Amino acid sequence: MAEDTFLDDDFLRQLMSVGEVDLLVGIPSHNNATTVAATVDAIEECFRQNFYRDRVVIVNVDGGSKDGTPEAVLNAAVSQHENGRGLTSLRTEHCVGMRYAQPVSTGQLYRTLLAAADLLRAKACAVISPASSNVAPAWIEKLLKPVYREKFDFVAPLYGRHKFDGLLGRNLLYPMARAVFGWRVRELHPSDFAFSGGFGSYCVNQDVWHEEAIGASAETWMAITGTRPDFRICQAFLGQKMHAATTSGSDIVSAVRDAVGAFFWCMESQQEIWTARTGSEAVPTNGPDHELTIQAVRINRKRIFELFRTGASELETILKSVLSPETHAEIQRIAALDERKFRLGGELWARILFEFAASYHRAVINRDHLIQALVPLYRGRIYSFLLDHQESSPQEIEDDTEALCLELERQKPYLLERWNQKG
Amino acid sequence: MADSDDKLWYKDAIIYQLHVRTFCDSNNDGIGDFTGLIQKLDYLQELGINALWLMPFFPSPLRDDGYDTADYLNVHPNYGTLDDFKRFLVAAHNRGIRVIIELVLNHTSDQHPWFQEARSSRENPKRDWYVWSDTDDKYKEARIIFLDTEMSNWAWDPISKSYYWHRFFSHQPDLNFDNPAVFEMMWQVMKFWLDIGVDGFRLDAVPYLAEREGTSCENLPETHAIVRELRHRLDAEYPKAMLLAEANQWPADVRAYFADGDEFHMAFHFPLMPRMFMAVQLEDRKPIVEILEQTPQIPDSCQWCIFLRNHDELTLEMVTDIERDYMYDEYAKDKAMRINLGIRRRLAPMMDNDRRRIQLLNILLMTMPGTPIIYYGDEIGMGDNIYLGDRNGVRTPMQWNGGWNGGFSGADPERLYSPLISNPVYGYQAINVEAQHRLPHSLLSWMKAVIAVRKSSRVFSRGSIEFLRPSNHRVLAYVRQLDQEKILVVNNLAASAQAVELDLKRYKGHVPIEMAGGNLFPRIGDLPYLLTLGPYNSYAFRLRRF
């Protein structure tokens, strides 16, 4: 593929000095100065505890931070080397970095990491988000070991969550991925994951990096790619993930746009694989495949419902072009209900998702607009979920998720029908 | 050749370690002897070494390869006579080769007349020359060194019905240096050999000379006091004689044996040795740089002795558990290669007979700070035989040629003190001095050349060392400097070609001259100095200003 180089000379020089490695841990960063040092510490601690014989490197790719994140990474690495006591690695521990002067897409950060892994011929690679405030050495070990020791190609994370955390995954990505691609992988939008050298090489050499969907959520594409028949995927339970206090929290519009955009793009590009699959299979999992806590979380349900109702009304024209008349009518009906009686159940939600996916496939409207039009409906689904599970136990929530997954699997023929519709 | 009047001759020495028994048999009894050794001195002179370290050659029951001395003032009849030794000494000196002999101060054989007297009755005047006890409870904090064979540091003597102390094998009772008569006797032993003309002593098992309750019985102040007194007498009467300590300890502990330059002249740097092997296997300079950075400064008159292999196992006492496991996994996959806390293999087989790796390790040996010791046979890449028991696999006869008994002896092969290495790869038919002597590119010829480079500058033997820290960890680079003379050494520890950028700004304007070939390299400027090195390649550059 003819393309400009995207690794600068200084970074290449650093990679040249590192040479071939066994393990690479990448830290894609952007304004994470408050937490990134702890992330580096955890990675180096993991190296010392578990991989002290192996050739290791930490690679920081920074997307134009203004808060000194790259410097914090290097300072943390230097301080670790100078103050390390007791157990130490047999080898030189490298920490190298590439810094983009201006903000770049997360896809570009991942692509740079993948290129570094490819050039260093890393056997196993992990990506760790510095946005978490509680990265533990065990996380890195749990992600790397299945690749390094058990020859898996992709390790998706599993987190302990409070019951209203991870709603995009629980209500959309996981059920969709399970029904469409046929694999029960919970985190399709992972910020911490691991992959093999071969998998990384495959990804970096795909002609996808110019795609907007990949730029926005390459990790989703990578996780779905991990389910391809030529790769082995597994999951590793990492524990509870805490977000740094300084992060702004998830912006639903961009989260849905990024993750669902990448998901639909993967459906489009991998249809030869998933259209032939039926049912779903569990993937090997290290640890529990879910863990919910019921601690109280304040969520402004009323606001969510208002945004749903407003969106459903304002986007009526778009929704009409995307959805079947029956589905659209049903949305109109429930949008008119009193908020206490409102429900957006699994059967309707499955239809909405599949009709959106099919419309994306047929490009009935601008794809970006299409995905954005899904956001208010997603809000409606979340509002319904929150109403249903105010008092639910973790098991009841898990049962509900399972029911939703089965509903999507049941309706997969409908998806195929819509997908293959002409015009 | 260094100035023969130089009191610091040991700093410029290149020591060759051998056991008389292993080198050359002149009377066809299957055992090497001093007359045979004399015949081979020309070879050693041509090799370029300028000091010999002879392992114990005293009368002994030979239950520990001579480290079980039964008479300190004579030569074991297997190896000749005292007169033979004197002839050897003159011949060596005539060739500019100094002679360091081994002295086991810490213990004797249980066959030594002193011990025989001591055990004969509790009232015997020699009784107090050894360490006795009615129980085996004392000095519990002292570790057992030979874990594979000994259960305790005490052994029961059925004759005098008491326990005697031994830090090594139970047939090697420790002398009691708390008894002034023992010290005086050992000083007389040293004087005996110094008067004959030996140039120095390698004192065996030094840390263990004294015992005190509640301690590890190692490196005690009382032990240092003994050494200081020996050195004091030595300086007064034999100012050019040298003491070399065998103290298998961490550098910080060994440092104490240099004291203020008034104990030992030299001591082995035990922790460096395994780390050189580790660095090559890891393809990472970290182990070497780390241990040398932890190595304390020593007085100007003192020197470290460095080595790759010797007559013992490659000791792994001075490494961490993690490092030891790694060394075992990489260099002693076959359990038969392991003994005590170490690896009983020679250099060439450990390097899988890879000539490049053998050379790399020898370059490190010749260019690192310290006096290098070459173990006999390693200069031609001799192999080992791990099935010979104990550490005998690295003590097989020297391989001189491809003929009868490898040129070592005219005896029947069955009569040799040890079978020769005879496998197709390392056997005497394949690896021998005569064959390598004929070839200008043999390992032997290369060793002569590298020794010549080492001897061409005192920077190597007396200079400081400063590590460069290129970002490529597979490259170990350092500058040795003595006064205005500077030598840059660059080693690629990896099996693959490497590029390295060296920060040589402070040497701007200097021209590197490669020492082996004398070729000029580009002048050093402001930019990082780029070098490319082939697998396991090394360069030594003299930095000259023109």
Distance CA B429, CA B470 (A): 44
Q: Do A90 and B499 touch (CB under 8 A)?
A: no
Distance CA A406, CA A267 (A): 19
The closest of B266, B227, B381 to B10, measured between CA atoms, is B266
Interface probe for B, chosen from A12, A13, A88, A91 (most Cβ of B below 10 Å), is A91
Could you report the per-residue pLDDT of B457-516, keeping only the tens digit for each?
A: 999 999 999 999 999 999 999 999 999 999 999 999 999 999 999 999 999 999 999 999
Per the DSSP assignment, residues forming a β-bridge with B164 are B132, B155
- The nearest CA of chain B is from the CA of A368 a distance in Å of 45
Residues of chain A neighbouring B501 (CB-CB closer than 8 A): 13
CB pairs under 8 A between A and B: 42
Q: Using alpha carbons only, what angle is made at residue A315 by residues A314 and A320, rounded to the nearest 5 degrees?
A: 135
Q: What is each CA distance from A270 to A189, A229, B9, B327, B378, in whole angstroms?
A: 17, 11, 77, 48, 62
Could you report the per-residue pLDDT of A97-139, keeping only the tens digit for each?
A: 999 999 999 999 999 999 999 999 999 999 999 999 899 999 9
When CB atoms are compared, the residue of B286, B472, B501 closest to A91 is B286
Which pLDDT band holds residue A245 (cuts at 50, 70, 90)? low
Q: Does the CA dihedral A116-A120-A126-A130 come out positive or negative?
A: negative
Q: Which amino acid is at A384?
A: S
Q: Which of B246, B312, B379, B384 is catalytic?
A: B246
Interface probe for A, chosen from B322, B328, B501, B530 (most Cβ of A below 10 Å), is B322
Please give the CATH number for the structural domain made up of B113-165: 3.90.400.10
Q: Do B471 and A52 touch (CB under 8 A)?
A: no
Distance CA B15, CA B17 (A): 6
- The nearest CA of chain B is from the CA of A279 a distance in Å of 47
Per the DSSP assignment, residues forming a β-bridge with A61 are A28, A98
- Report whether A178 contacts A408 (CB < 8 A): yes
Q: Which fold has domain A9-293?
A: Spore Coat Polysaccharide Biosynthesis Protein SpsA; Chain A (3.90.550)
Q: Does B498 touch chain A (CB under 8 A)?
A: yes
- Rounded to 10°, the helix B221-237/B180-196 angle is 40
Smallest CA–CA distance from B497 into chain A, residue:
A19
Tell me how crowded residue A396 is: count the other CB atoms within 10 A of its CB: 14
Q: Does B282 touch chain A (CB under 8 A)?
A: yes
The two structure tokens encoding residue A79: 């301080």
Q: Do A91 and B282 touch (CB under 8 A)?
A: yes
Helix (H) or strand (E) holding A194: strand A193-196
Domain ranges of chain A: 9-293, 301-420
Q: Does A16 touch chain B (CB under 8 A)?
A: yes
Q: Do B472 and A87 touch (CB under 8 A)?
A: no
Q: Do A92 and B284 touch (CB under 8 A)?
A: yes
Distance CA A331, CA A345 (A): 11
Q: Does A231 touch chain B (CB under 8 A)?
A: no
Strands (E), A102-184: 124-127, 154-162, 183-184
Q: Do B470 and A87 touch (CB under 8 A)?
A: no
- The nearest CA of chain A is from the CA of B73 a distance in Å of 47
Strands (E), B93-232: 98-104, 132-133, 154-157, 162-165, 200-204
The two structure tokens encoding residue B453: 């480079």
Q: Do A91 and B326 touch (CB under 8 A)?
A: no
Q: Do B326 and A53 touch (CB under 8 A)?
A: yes
| A301: phi then psi, degrees, rounded to nearest 5 | -65, -40
- Report whether B473 contacts A94 (CB < 8 A): yes
Indicate the pairing of strand B132-133 with strand B162-165. antiparallel
Q: What is each CA distance from B263 to B208, B222, B223, B234, B244, in whole angstroms?
A: 15, 13, 11, 10, 10
Q: Does B474 touch chain A (CB under 8 A)?
A: yes
DSSP annotation of A169 reads I
Interface probe for A, chosen from B472, B476, B492 (most Cβ of A below 10 Å), is B472
Instruction: Write a three-state SS string for B465-507.
Output: EEEECCCCCCEEEEEEEECCEEEEEEEECCCCCEEEEECCHHH
The two structure tokens encoding residue A139: 């996380």
Q: Do B471 and A13 touch (CB under 8 A)?
A: yes
Residues of chain A neighbouring B502 (CB-CB closer than 8 A): none
Residues of chain B neighbouring A20 (CB-CB closer than 8 A): 496
Residues of chain B neighbouring A10 (CB-CB closer than 8 A): none
pLDDT of residue A249: 44
The closest of B146, B445, B192, B509 to B315, measured between CA atoms, is B146
Smallest CA–CA distance from A52 into chain B, residue:
B322
Q: Using alpha carbons only, what angle is made at residue A212 by residues A268 and A124, rounded to the nearest 5 degrees?
A: 80
Residues of chain A neighbouring B472 (CB-CB closer than 8 A): 16-17, 19
Q: Does A19 touch chain B (CB under 8 A)?
A: yes
- The nearest CA of chain B is from the CA of A364 a distance in Å of 54
Distance of CA B56 to the CA centre of its chain: 13
Q: How far apart are the first and last CA of chain A?
A: 33
Tell me how crowded residue A229 is: count the other CB atoms within 10 A of its CB: 7
The two structure tokens encoding residue B95: 């060739």
Which pLDDT band holds residue A423 (cuts at 50, 70, 90)? low
The two structure tokens encoding residue A337: 């209900």
Catalytic: B246?
A: yes
- The nearest CA of chain A is from the CA of B365 a distance in Å of 21
Tell me how crowded residue B234 is: count the other CB atoms within 10 A of its CB: 21
Residue A297 in this model has a pLDDT that exceeds 80 = no
Residues of chain A neighbouring B322 (CB-CB closer than 8 A): 52-53, 87, 90
Smallest CA–CA distance from B319 into chain A, residue:
A90
Distance CA B345, CA B332 (A): 8
Distance CA B160, CA B170 (A): 15
Which pLDDT band holds residue A89 (cuts at 50, 70, 90)? confident
The closest of A132, A64, A141 to A98, measured between CA atoms, is A64
Q: Which amino acid is at B284?
A: D
Q: Does A6 touch chain B (CB under 8 A)?
A: no
Q: Which of B68, B204, B218, B379 is catalytic?
A: B204
Q: Do A90 and B470 touch (CB under 8 A)?
A: no
pLDDT more than 70, % of chain A: 95
- Report whether B436 contacts B380 (CB < 8 A): yes
Distance CA A402, CA A184 (A): 11
Q: Do B284 and A91 touch (CB under 8 A)?
A: yes
Q: Do A92 and B278 touch (CB under 8 A)?
A: no
* CATH homologous superfamily of B9-108+179-270+281-309+363-455: Glycosidases (3.20.20.80)
**pLDDT averaged over chain A?**
92
- The nearest CA of chain B is from the CA of A100 a distance in Å of 22
Which pLDDT band holds residue A164 (cuts at 50, 70, 90)? confident
- The nearest CA of chain B is from the CA of A184 a distance in Å of 40
Residue A413 CB burial class (10 angstroms; 0-12, 13-18, ≥19) = exposed
Residues of chain A neighbouring B496 (CB-CB closer than 8 A): 19-20
Q: Does B473 touch chain A (CB under 8 A)?
A: yes
* CATH homologous superfamily of B463-545: Golgi alpha-mannosidase II (2.60.40.1180)
Which pLDDT band holds residue A87 (cuts at 50, 70, 90)? low
DSSP annotation of B396 reads P
The two structure tokens encoding residue A62: 């920074």
pLDDT less than 50: residues of chain B:
1-2
Distance CA A37, CA A34 (A): 7
Residue B212 three-state SS: coil
Smallest CA–CA distance from A54 into chain B, residue:
B282
Residue A246 in this model has a pLDDT that exceeds 50 = no
Interface probe for B, chosen from A9, A14, A90, A94 (most Cβ of B below 10 Å), is A90
DSSP annotation of B211 reads -
Residues of chain B neighbouring A55 (CB-CB closer than 8 A): 284
Smallest CA–CA distance from A95 into chain B, residue:
B471
Residues of chain B neighbouring A52 (CB-CB closer than 8 A): 322
Distance CA A377, CA A323 (A): 12
Domain ranges of chain B: 9-108+179-270+281-309+363-455, 113-165, 463-545
Instruction: Give Cβ neighbours of residue B426 (< 8 Å, ≥ 6 apart).
Output: B348, B349, B353, B381, B382, B383, B384
- Report whether B459 contacts B482 (CB < 8 A): yes
Q: Does A52 touch chain B (CB under 8 A)?
A: yes
